[in-house]
Amino acid sequence: MWKRIGACDHMDHLHPDNVVEEIPGLLKVYKDGHIERIPTMPEVPCTWTTGVGDVTSFDVPLNNRIGLWVRFYVPNREAKLPLLVYFHGGGFCVGSATWRCYHEFLARLASAAGCLIMSVNYRLAPENRLPAAYDDGLEATKWLRHQANCDTELGFSSWQRSCDFSQVLLGGDSAGGSIAFHVAAELGLPDWLRGLVLIQPFFGGEKRTSSEKKNEHNAKCVLSLAASDCYWRLALPSGADRDHPWCNPLSKSSSPWLESLKLPPMFVCISEMDVLKDREVEFCEATRRAGKRVEYAIHDGVGHAFQVLGKSHASKIRTEEMIAGVTAFVNKTTESHI
């Protein structure tokens, strides 16, 4: 039984010697099952200013029983717009649609790409191991499709009136990219699914890649190899290794499955200094060989999650390049060119 730490919990068990798993600065798991998520990222309400004047944001509950909800970003445009279902990163174990870095990035992306964005706040591991996050992504996407079929006589909300439900994309960064990929695999290419946007998708495997070995001892990486391994230990079903299909879509057990998948066109954003770089390039090439339509961009001089966590001048420049690339892909793969 996993337990979250509350303000009234007895604190004796929080001794460092009782920590069994740790992502420095983000997460500690204790022997007795308590989980401490360290509040290092500012959280903001949907009304928080983004600096993007033409985008409105608001929250909508989907499943109160499990705490599943979404945050919408709606540009103020005349035409009906495509919609991007977006899943945040965090190794399946941390992260939130309320994080300020995501709130600001997605508002900018919605404005630039001329699309609505539905940011999904899914359940986290280890309290909810995979496939919980994948299931939540699928439920949120199915909920969206239900909205498309609502009786218009009952009155659509503003976002429903703005949305072209026949032009939907799935996307996300890091663990969110993995969620988007697995949700698309489960959907089987319905006629309304136009594309996949995978930003530094979080995949793994038992065999080490060159970029993993290169960054194995680099403590400055946002995602170190040790942190990646820890996330997978906490997220995968107990006893599973990193060649589980939910982690490694290129494992021997996944290969026939990959070839049989029906997927929309895919755009993958890769960071040159990311521990995941080689694994992501390999994924793109293997997916191409399996007959899928894949294009990818490698952003020079930046590491994992630079678009939401990077503060350097290079990160800002590459973020603009990423937004431009995603915008071009959205326009190319939908019928509504804004």
State the amino acid at position 86 in one-letter form.
Y
- Name which of 174, 177, 149 is nearest 163 in CA terms: 149
Rounded Cα distance between 217 and 200, Å, is 20
DSSP state of 208: P
Are the C-beta atoms of 175 and 102 separated by less than 8 Å?
A: no
Buried b (16+ CB within 10 A) or exposed e, 161-187: ebbbebbbbbbbbbbbbbbbbbbbbeb
Q: Which of 254, 274, 299, 315 is catalytic?
A: 274
Q: Which of 88, 254, 304, 315 is catalytic?
A: 304
Q: Per DSSP, what are the bridge partners of residue 205?
A: none
End-to-end Cα separation, the chain, in angstroms: 49
Q: Which of 96, 111, 174, 251 is catalytic?
A: 174
* Strand 163-173 versus strand 81-87 pairing type: parallel
DSSP state of 8: T
Q: Per DSSP, what are the bridge partners of residue 298?
A: 270
- State the CB neighbour count (10 A cutoff) for residue 53: 10
Q: How far is CA 134 from CA 202, 228, 285, in A?
A: 13, 18, 24
Rounded Cα distance between 22 and 12, Å, is 18
What number of helices (H) and strands (E) belong to the chain? 10, 12
Buried b (16+ CB within 10 A) or exposed e, 94-111: bbbbbbebbbbbbbbbbb
Rounded Cα distance between 186 and 59, Å, is 26
Q: Per DSSP, what are the bridge partners of residue 120?
A: 70, 87
The verdict on whether 253 is a catalytic residue reads: no
The verdict on whether 174 is a catalytic residue reads: yes
The verdict on whether 191 is a catalytic residue reads: no
Q: Per DSSP, what are the bridge partners of residue 27?
A: 23, 37
Catalytic residues: 174, 274, 304
